Structure 1
């Protein structure tokens, strides 16, 4: 049973007060708005090129058979001697769907925060950033044996409800239950494919442990008609074992890990890098973005670096 002190530790268990603090950071962080429009991550509303009336004028271009003659730009046509038509832009809604993993493996953290806490922080930042664009926000909080679905809405109270569901799942993360993780995960992504139709901005926040071929297939289908971004949360102990002896347990099994064993240390480190490289290569086949965020460095600094590199 957790003590009162443990319940309030911000690096282990989430609170609403903690998550709401990221609203200010989300308002000042540039996560891809600007010229890239629909190709930008977190750009909120995106522009589509349409030929219409009563919309924002973007440019004039040579007339093509089939263009609406009501949009002929007579001024440019007179100057160039060639018929030109006006092109307009229209803002289209791009609702956001955020999947947040709060299953057992996300409860791990060796130095600063647990992966589950970082996942909650990322979800809060993304949700508040998208709210500023005026789009609908919803998502799913996954615990392994069950989930909570939050229907996308524009109502700011929907974000609070979403964050509260993340907190509830996070508070229960160490109450380990027996279930088939891979089968559960496959079923969940089948459900997401039925919920998310098209023109969504979808974020999947997880450590991506035990993601099988069936899940990858569902992700590829999801990416066909939506903008899909995967954010892998990892602990640095998973990437680089320290030079010391440790005991690791999942409450059921216990493993003695000798970090002084150089061959073992290198093997584990290489395995982590190889798994990430292969996973990323597989996702790139379907034009799916994958980013890494660790549990040790300040999340604000990591996001600035991640999206600065993406928008270059």
Structure 2
């Protein structure tokens, strides 16, 4: 594990920094306020039921199939039309926060790495769900392993989740060879075995290595659950500097002539094409894709997200 004190905090994260993200949990909303469910991350949500529930909601005309025990005889006698009482019941919505801490996330051109931003967003999402009184668990994807914490209504479970995030985040400095495809498949299997129905599944990644398996997974999850994708990108992934430079990792280096306008244009168009294709596929499955970058502060970006939904 890396000694984080040797590195700028925006390259790696720490448990202290992730715990500070709790202050943003009260304001986040990932769904239109026009809907009955105020937020995908809103935790408990109301559902109209025919029958007995927790809270009286309204009186409406009786329709065939309504429980006759809920007929409002006073309103029926006054209007000469059969009316029934409708109740609302709060249903639990446990959540699973899946956060990518693999090698592709260990990049940031100027401010922070994608892995740090993803870790912060995972902390915010987890605290939001807990504040609503629902169970929350987490999955941390690394290059060779995954960590799984089952949903619990317990702050200590969030602390364990964030500790796993920090541990995997700091391991990124080691630059181990990866077999990410196998890890991704194992992750999807674990999540599918854990998630039943009426879950909130939040997946935080750059989605650089998304595949048909990921699309199929999202589609299946969406049938009986709420699914939200949060994509973290860095500006340099789209717009390379207009100068010659060398890019690489621990295994490979390549010289790039950023002064070539055609190359820069091709680079940007390829990024936009991939992003549009990904968002279109998610739209077909009615899965929102929220975008965050490594440059702006988390609070600034949260405000923009709130304005968009």
Q: Given the two structures, how large is their TM-score scaled by the length of structure 2?
A: 0.95
Q: Is the 8 A contact 2:58 2:87 kept in 1?
A: yes
Provide the C-alpha distance between the structure 2 equivalents of 1:225 and 1:179, rounded to a whole number of angstroms. 33
Aligned length: 309
User: Residues 283 and 39 from structure 1, CA distance in 2 versus in 1: closer, same or farther, beyond 3 angstroms?
Assistant: farther
Q: Are residues 1:164 and 2:163 paired?
A: yes
Provide the C-alpha distance between the structure 1 equivalents of 2:23 and 2:214, rounded to a whole number of angstroms. 34
- Alignment partner, residue 230 of structure 1: 229
Provide the C-alpha distance between the structure 2 equivalents of 1:216 and 1:28, rounded to a whole number of angstroms. 30
RMSD: 1.8
- Alignment partner, residue 191 of structure 1: 190
Provide the C-alpha distance between the structure 2 equivalents of 1:155 and 1:40, rounded to a whole number of angstroms. 21
* Cα offset, 1:31, TM superposition: 4.9
What secondary structure sits across from 2:58 in the alignment?
strand
- Alignment partner, residue 22 of structure 1: 21
Q: Is the 8 A contact 1:190 1:218 kept in 2?
A: no
Provide the C-alpha distance between the structure 2 equivalents of 1:208 and 1:52, rounded to a whole number of angstroms. 44
* Cα offset, 1:235, TM superposition: 0.6
Provide the C-alpha distance between the structure 2 equivalents of 1:199 and 1:113, rounded to a whole number of angstroms. 34
Q: Is the 8 A contact 1:34 1:43 kept in 2?
A: no
Partner deviation per Cα, 1:249-275 (whole Å, 9 max, x = no partner): 121000112221111101111111110
Provide the C-alpha distance between the structure 1 equivalents of 2:167 and 2:128, rounded to a whole number of angstroms. 22
User: Residues 23 and 4 from structure 1, CA distance in 2 versus in 1: closer, same or farther, beyond 3 angstroms?
Assistant: closer
- Alignment partner, residue 279 of structure 2: 280
Q: Is the 8 A contact 1:182 1:212 kept in 2?
A: no
- Alignment partner, residue 6 of structure 1: 6
Provide the C-alpha distance between the structure 2 equivalents of 1:137 and 1:255, rounded to a whole number of angstroms. 43
- Alignment partner, residue 52 of structure 1: 51
- Alignment partner, residue 97 of structure 1: 96
Q: Given the two structures, how large is their TM-score scaled by the length of structure 1?
A: 0.94
Provide the C-alpha distance between the structure 1 equivalents of 2:218 and 2:281, rounded to a whole number of angstroms. 11
User: Residues 28 and 293 from structure 1, CA distance in 2 versus in 1: closer, same or farther, beyond 3 angstroms?
Assistant: closer
* Cα offset, 1:191, TM superposition: 2.1
What secondary structure sits across from 2:250 in the alignment?
coil
What secondary structure sits across from 1:21 in the alignment?
helix
- Alignment partner, residue 134 of structure 2: 135
User: Residues 227 and 17 from structure 1, CA distance in 2 versus in 1: closer, same or farther, beyond 3 angstroms?
Assistant: same
